[in-house]
Chain A
Amino acid sequence: MTYGRTSCRPDLKLRLISRARPSLPPGCAALIFNRMQTVITVTLNGETRALDGPVSVAGLLLTLGLEGRKVAVERNEAIVPRSRYTETMLASGDSLEIVHFIGGG
């Protein structure tokens, strides 16, 4: 799982480089700022997670290694139909539940 690890986030790598080289050309800081803005914070199965945005439900499932698995997704207490995974974009503050079937009586 790579979420939340700075080493896997190109925007933060860029920031580290910028610190090391304070004489970057003008405009670069704004670029970095814009990239930072796309990080969104969601609650995923009860845990807070930072995700690189913009990201759709389909993109999230892919990153989580759940693409093609028999799961169901609820976003803010509403079902996200499978047919809308690609077009449904996540926003900061979203509460997501990803569930599947397990043994039960």
Chain B
Amino acid sequence: MDGTLPVEDTWTVAGRRFRSRLIVGTGKYKDLEETAAAIEASGAEIVTVAVRRVNLSDPKAPMLQDYVDPKKYTYLPNTAGCHTANDAVRTLRLAREAGGWNLVKLEVLGPPPLLYPDMRGTFEAAEALIKDGFEVMVYCADDPLAAKRLEEMGCVAIMPLGAPIGSGLGIQNPAMICMMMEQVTVPFLVDAGVGTASDAAIALELGCDAVLLNSAIANAKDPVRMARAMKLAVEAGRLAHLAGRMPRRMGADPSSPLTGLIR
């Protein structure tokens, strides 16, 4: 035992095995070079991507795939910006056609300023997508009942928010996250809310299989350095979880022996 992560400490979603427990978004970066550098530094193996209309006035513009190789990273298409089940389903069908992947991230969002998960739309879209052969990683409210139902429907990962998307508020609901986790057996991730490295570490310490974030890296003053911080934080959090934290106690317990004191 040297205290490092076990060599085979991996997690598996929809039959795909991953070593990194950090999933990063590819949005909000200054340019595609910075996107590529930050993703590399994060050590992530899965990246989320959005599906948008091609800019027909500039069809030869550089594309994400030129910088973030889909052969090296698992693209996880999302439904960001979708506020109805129908929009989300259409978007992911297009994503599957563009990329050939059926592993997707479903998010059906309520209106700004919260962009809180719209669970009615989420259930509706999840049902349609699963029926259509998709493997759905689902962004959801921190609702233990919803988590259980989504798993029963066939979602391959449950991903509640720790705080609103892009808020950087950190994990505001650790107790609820833990209660949800007890309800599900599929991979469980915190998706949204992480603001800095310690937040990512907390998600893993709580026992999440992985954490998904974008803004915390992209909106940092030095995104590449923050990406590296996130990589280390996720490893630290995972190690702490495996090590098992000490029990909390209401009072002091001295660390130095009480015997042998000079008089």
How near does chain A come to B194, taking the closest CB pair, in angstroms?
11
A102 at the binding interface (Cβ < 8 Å):
yes
Chain B residue contacts of A104, Cβ below 8 A: 25-27, 48-52, 78, 80, 214
Q: Known interface pairs A71-B98, A98-B53. Does A103 touch B64 (Cβ–Cβ under 8 Å)?
A: yes
Q: How many inter-chain residue pairs (CB < 8 Å) link A and B?
A: 109
Bound-state CA distance A47–B49 (Å) is 25
Interface check A22, CB cutoff 8 A: no
A44 vs B54: C-alpha distance in the bound complex, in angstroms? 10
In angstroms, Cα B54 to Cα A47, docked, is 12
Within 8 A of A (CB), among B41-77: 48-54, 56-57, 59-60, 63-65, 75, 77
Interface string of B200-225 (1 = CB under 8 A from A): 00000000000001110010000000
List the A side residues contacting B128 at CB < 8 Å: none
Residues on A with C-beta less than 8 A from B26 are 102-105
Number of interface residues of A (CB under 8 A): 27
Which size bracket describes the interface of B in this complex? 35 or more
Write the chain B residue with the least CB distance to A67: B59
Of the residues A1, A45, A77, A105, contact of B53 by C-beta under 8 Å: A45
Query: Are B56 and A64 in contact (CB-based, < 8 A)?
Result: yes
Is A21 an interface residue when CB atoms closer than 8 A count as contact? Answer: no
Query: In angstroms, how far is the closest chain B Cβ from the Cβ of A66?
Result: 5
- Closest CB in chain A relative to B83 CB, distance in Å: 15
With both beta carbons as reference points, the residue of chain A lying nearest to B25 in the complex is identified as: A105
Residues of A within 8 A of B93 (CB): 74, 79
Which residues of B does A touch, CB under 8 Å? 25-29, 32, 35, 48-54, 56-57, 59-60, 63-65, 75, 77-78, 80, 90, 93-99, 165-166, 213-215, 218
